Amino acid sequence: MSKIELIITNNYEEMSQKTADIFIDLLKKKPNSILGLATGSTPIGLYKILIEKNKSKIISFKDVITYNLDEYCDIPKSHEQSYFTFMNQNLFDHIDINKDNTHLPQGEGDSKINSENYDKELNKVKIDIQLLGIGSNGHIGFNEPGTDFDLGVHEVLLTENTIKDNARFFENDINKVPKKAITMGIKNILSAETIILIANGKNKANAIKNIMKGVADKNVPASALNLHKGKVYVIVDKDAASLL
């Protein structure tokens, strides 16, 4: 069983800074790190700090390789809400990374083949740090409640809860939110050396409480972090910690 290191910060800025400090340390020690990255609004503050540190030459991404957790199906890569677009706009376009070294699951086309291909790629590497946000229902990547912890990369049908949560990115219209996605499985996530889950806001408090019970429960996908053999950090603001 892993002992999760819980770090409670005062606010979103501090949560982002604490997380950035761990990434900066790693990149200084290991410039050719392999990073597992996440989308959503939570990591944006962290990415801003990493961009700033890259611009001031404190860290370089020249030799860094990245793998993202997930991607929507049924919208083109060029869609303004695809995770491909998100990663370029919020990080890759602003740092010295070689874009050939950035990887996301392929959302368009045959999901089965796309999942198998991404799984094969991931099985060839060891991710140094896997970053995670969390859905209000405890999902990580797009592993929704009930997902088998042994699954590798796979296609998922998003739950109503996630579709509603993510409608804010699609003009608040649930009909515009893609219904399917491809995601790393819990198995892929748990094979990273270190995992950092970040969360802010009251709507994440229940999910954080469920992780910190210390038990891996299929109904709370993020609670699988309790099974991780390596280091796990859960870095939250006061609001996300308010039910602990």
Supply the minimum distance, in Å, between the C-beta of residue 87 and ligand GLP.
12
Determine if 73 is a binding residue for ligand GLP (CB under 6 A): no
Among 45, 105, 107, 135, binds ligand GLP (CB under 6 A): 135
**144 classed as catalytic:** yes
Question: Which of 137, 188, 200, 226 is the catalytic position?
Answer: 137
Between 19 and 166, CB nearer to ligand GLP: 166
Describe the chain by its helix, strand, coil percentages, rounded to 5.
40, 20, 45
Which of these segments, 102-110, 117-125, 131-139, 144-152, binds ligand GLP (CB under 6 A)? 131-139
How far apart are alpha carbons 137 and 165 in whole angstroms? Answer: 10
Determine if 69 is a binding residue for ligand GLP (CB under 6 A): yes
Sign of the dihedral through C-alpha 144, 220, 88, 68: negative
**63 classed as catalytic:** no
Residue 200: closest CA among 54, 18, 28: 18
Among 19, 33, 39, 114, binds ligand GLP (CB under 6 A): 39
Determine if 40 is a binding residue for ligand GLP (CB under 6 A): yes
Contacts of 138 (CB under 8 A, 6+ apart): 145, 207, 210, 211, 219, 220, 221, 222, 223
Q: Name the token pair of 63.
A: 């030799």
Between 111 and 162, CB nearer to ligand GLP: 162
Determine if 41 is a binding residue for ligand GLP (CB under 6 A): yes
Binding mask 137-176 vs ligand GLP (x if CB under 6 A, - otherwise)? ----xx-------------------x---x----------
Q: b/e map of 103-129 (b: 16 or more CB within 10 Å)? A: bbbbbbeebeebbeebbeebeeeebbb
How far apart are alpha carbons 129 and 179 in whole angstroms? Answer: 29
Q: Which residues are catalytic?
A: 70, 137, 139, 144
**Site residues, ligand GLP (CB under 6 A):** 38-42, 69-70, 133-135, 141-142, 162, 166
